Structure 1
Amino acid sequence: MTFSTRILAFSAAAFALGAGMAHADTWRYAFEEAMDEVQGIYAQKFKEEIEANTDHEIQLFPYGTLGESADIMEQAQDGILQFVDQSPGFTGSLIPEAQVFFVPYLLPQETETLASFFKNSKAINEMFPALYADQGLELLTMFPEGEVAITTKEPFTTPADLDEVKIRTMTNPLLVESYKAFGATPTPLPWGEVYGALQTNIIQGQENPMFYVESTKMYEVTDYVTRIGHNNFTTAVMANKDFFDGLPDEDKKAIRAAAEAAFAHIIDYQKGLTEASVEKIKEAKPSMTFTTLSEEERQPFKDAAGEVEARFLEMTGDSGKRILDQMKEDLEAAQQASQS
């Protein structure tokens, strides 16, 4: 073999090796919670499915490793991240229609009904993908994370009790409107500032699913947990659209299958999670007071929900109305399916 032939052979081998490596990539996936919290459990199952069924690897980045929620969304849009899990609470400024998940008392609390809705909803599976695509994102799935509870320093049972109470909210315009309607003073803050703000009384309350109240130790800096039944925390898993569109069909299929498997896994994982979290909080802080408002007590908050829904329609126009109407149809179908 001549020198030039050896060079050509070496170049061909290097090209083949490079091509092989290009098909076995490491994909980056960031989310808004810790590894042992709901989004982290979902991400680990997604990673497991991808690595079992493709040559690719998934590198996971839990909350704080790449910055705040706004940072990881920007990185996902820029293609630095291939996947991101983020609540519509933070994407509301990008996709106003996604704020529909913050219309109070729209989503049911029953686990089976919720699972059916998120899996089969036309609004989620047929209408939202185009809105996310406009922002450079491929919507893979949405899933619920649990009933939202409100933790405060003082007890409340009526909107009047929340007068001048500063409640931390995500940077979401409709969530701000919700707490205004509930009588409180909404205070948008990045999550990393919440514990300290409660500790120093800059704010007097916050809302989150019970597992997150427990895992982030919000009970250490508040004294009351109140369930008014107003919402269930929703999150969305997305891919960078340019990345996703550039994949071969077999990889796209594997990603969608992994998202579906992780969805089923996380719905099952959450069974009993709220109750277990309550018990952990009681054990850690026996003085913590838990209150679930009765239907009669909830009525003033439900009455305020109409005002918030009207604000949602003002913010989003015809597009928002179509999505809200479809979601109501989807929710009715899910309710009927869970009763059959």
Structure 2
Amino acid sequence: MTALRIRLFAGIAGAAALVAGVGQAAADTWKYAFEEAMTDVQGVFAQKFKEEIEANSDHQIQLFPFGTLGESADIMEQAQAGILQFVDQSPGFTGALIPEAQVFFVPYLLPAESEKLGDFFRNSKAINEMFPALYAEQGLELLTMFPEGEVVMTTKEKVTTPADLDEVKFRVMTNPLLVESYQAFGATPTPLPWGEVFGALQTNIIQGQENPLFWVESTKMYEVTDYITFTGHNNFTTAVMANKAFFDGLAEEEQQLIRDAIDVSFEHILEYQEGLSERSLEKIKEARPDINVVVLTEEQRQPFKEAAAEVEAKFIEMTGESGKAILEQMKKDLQAATQ
């Protein structure tokens, strides 16, 4: 973050704090930024949250989809500075700030199917009791986490084994554990901000990337890659946070207003995602009839699962006892939720 940006953020944050101090009881406009378009999963969640807040209070929610305030790193900086009251960001990016959040990128830890994850995200002790303190250390109030869909690989060449990823430059989020994951899978991980990915694939600077199917369809990744591969290695997770100083400064009834709106939006987004991957794949096939869709068999997935053990060990090495405790608790929570 440049000195100029720091001064700019500080000035805006100071002005925002001055306005807020005039009287919290007055109706406010709260700013909420996220990493996707209005029609994508995070955007649908944000619109439901806005609807609930505005229906049950005099407050207004101003939404900022991807690109309107910069990249993921920019909106996180603005949320921490108090310019934004709410931010939705994947642990894939937050992992550099909160290393333990990278647990969501340990391959084959989460079930790929979103319908198996609702109870886990609702009731997980790791999410609801352990993570909030880690986010609070970074000036953030963790409001919820939710799944966005099974992660698929999109590549220029067919992938059925880790050997097929040899020398493939594979885009990953700026997340140390994702780098470790794709090294273990045999690829050359290449961290890139999202805004550069389409062009990098188009010019062959990179040859692959991973994301949920709705995002592959929405961003037209199928135009610059030829294979969609279901490896079953993850389900994309995201987190909604508030600036902690803002949240702590609210009256108790306003904090409850926010929590209630989050709960309604959570249930709404799970319902919205039912069949979303299938619908997205149909749209991709319609737009690109020659796209190759590969679903790895359990036998083909086994080498990737064996590589995942190495990544899990790296996660513990990166995060120490804190990360190990969260990983162990998540495994217990997942077992309880998916049996």
Shorter-chain TM-score range: over 0.9
Match of 2:36 in 1: 33
Separation in 1 of the partners of 2:279 and 2:305? 28
Q: 2:117 matched to 1:110?
A: no
Q: 2:192 matched to 1:205?
A: no
Match of 2:77 in 1: 74
The offset of 1:55, in angstroms, is 1.2
Match of 1:240 in 2: 243
The offset of 1:23, in angstroms, is 2.1
SS of 2:229's partner is: strand
AA partner of residue 94 (structure 1): L
SS of 1:116's partner is: helix
Separation in 1 of the partners of 2:305 and 2:39? 33
- Spell out, residue by residue over 1:192-238, the C-alpha distance to the aligned partner (whole angstroms, 9 max, x if none): 00000000000000000000000000000000000100000000000
SS of 1:45's partner is: helix
Structure 1 segments unaligned to the other structure (5+ residues): 1-17
Q: 1:56 aligns with which of 56, 59, 65?
A: 59
Quick one: percent identity of the two aligned structures?
78
Report the RMSD for the aligned CA atoms in angstroms.
1.1
Q: 2:46 aligns with which of 43, 47, 54?
A: 43
Separation in 2 of the partners of 1:197 and 1:111? 30
Separation in 2 of the partners of 1:109 and 1:186? 22
Question: 1:24-173 alignment to 2 at 5 Å?
Answer: 24-173=27-176
Match of 1:5 in 2: none
Q: 2:339 matched to 1:333?
A: no
The offset of 1:19, in angstroms, is 6.2
Q: 1:254 aligns with which of 234, 257, 263?
A: 257
Structure 2 segments unaligned to the other structure (5+ residues): 1-20
Separation in 2 of the partners of 1:241 and 1:335? 32
Match of 2:302 in 1: 299
Match of 2:177 in 1: 174
AA partner of residue 276 (structure 2): L
AA partner of residue 65 (structure 1): T
Indicate conservation of the 8 Å contact 2:113/2:235, yes or no: no
Question: 1:186-205 alignment to 2 at 5 Å?
Answer: 186-205=189-208
Separation in 1 of the partners of 2:50 and 2:283? 29
Separation in 2 of the partners of 1:121 and 1:112? 15
Q: 2:291 matched to 1:281?
A: no
Separation in 2 of the partners of 1:83 and 1:21? 17
The offset of 1:20, in angstroms, is 6.8
- Spell out, residue by residue over 1:108-133, the C-alpha distance to the aligned partner (whole angstroms, 9 max, x if none): 12333201101110000000000000
Q: How many residues align?
A: 319
